A and B are shown apart, each in its own frame.
Chain A
Amino acid sequence: MEIIGVYGGLSLALLGWFLGRGAAQKNRGLDEMHDYIWNKARSISWYLTIATIYILMTLYIAGVNLNVMVALSILLFVQLASWAISGIMYGLGFTGIKLKKGIVIQFTVIGVFVPIAFIILAATIDNWKIALASIPPMMVNIGVTVNALRKAKAESVKEQ
C-alpha cells in the first residue's frame, strides 16, 4: 500500500511537472523571472523545512511516537507545499494579480490547519492512515483556488 502511495505520488508529481513545464514553455514562461521566483520559493521552503525538522525533533524528545516514514512524509509535504505556495504567491506579487481576500484566507486556513489537524488526530489515536482523510478537502481547496486564480488572471488581462 505504502509503495503505491510513494511511487504513485512521485509519478503523478513528475507527470504534472513535465506537463506544466511544457505548457509554460509554449508562452515563453520558463524565462529569467520564472527562475528568480522559483529560486526564492525554494529558499523559503528550505527555511520552513528546517523549522519542521526542529519541531519534529522537539516532538520526539517530548515522547511523541514518530516513525521514519511519518517524519519523512511530513518533511516532504512541508518542503513541496511551501515551495509551491510561496512560488505562486511570488508570481502573483510580481504580476500584480490580486486574489480576493476570502480565497486567500480559505486557501491558507484549509491548506495549513486541515493537514495539521489530521496529523494531530492520527498521532493521538496512533493510526497514521487517518491522515489520508485530509487529501479530499485539500484537493477541493486546491481546485477552488486554481479556479479563482484563473478568473483573477483573466480579469488582470482585461485591465492591461
Chain B
Amino acid sequence: MNNHIRELRLQFNITQEQLAERVGVSRQSIIAIESQRYNPSLELAYKISQSFNKSIEEVFIFNKEE
C-alpha cells in the first residue's frame, strides 16, 4: 500500500518522532509505514490521516496488484 506520509510530514513540518508521538506508536513503526514495509491497521491508518486533517484515501493508496 503506497502512502503520502513523507510528503505530508514535510508539508506540515513534523518529524517521524513527532508523528509517532501523536498517533501513539514507535518511530520505527512510522519508518516502516512510510517506506511501505508495513501496512498499518485501519485504526492506525485513521489516526495518521487524522493527524494531517485528511481522510484515509488522501493519505493511503491501495494497490490492487499487491
Interface residues of A (CB under 8 A from B): 24, 27-29, 31-34, 36, 91, 93-96, 160
Contact = CB atoms under 8 A, between A and B. Distances in A.
Q: Which of A34, A36, A91, A95 has the most CB of B within 10 A?
A: A95
Contacts of A36: 38
Contacts of A31: 24-26, 29
A47 B31 CA distance: 29
A28 B20 contact: yes
A94 B25 contact: no
Nearest to A94: B32
Nearest to A33: B29
22 contacts: A27-B26, A27-B27, A28-B20, A28-B25, A29-B26, A31-B24, A31-B25, A31-B29, A32-B25, A32-B43, A32-B44, A33-B25, A33-B26, A33-B29, A94-B28, A94-B32, A95-B31, A95-B32, A96-B31, A96-B32, A96-B37, A160-B31
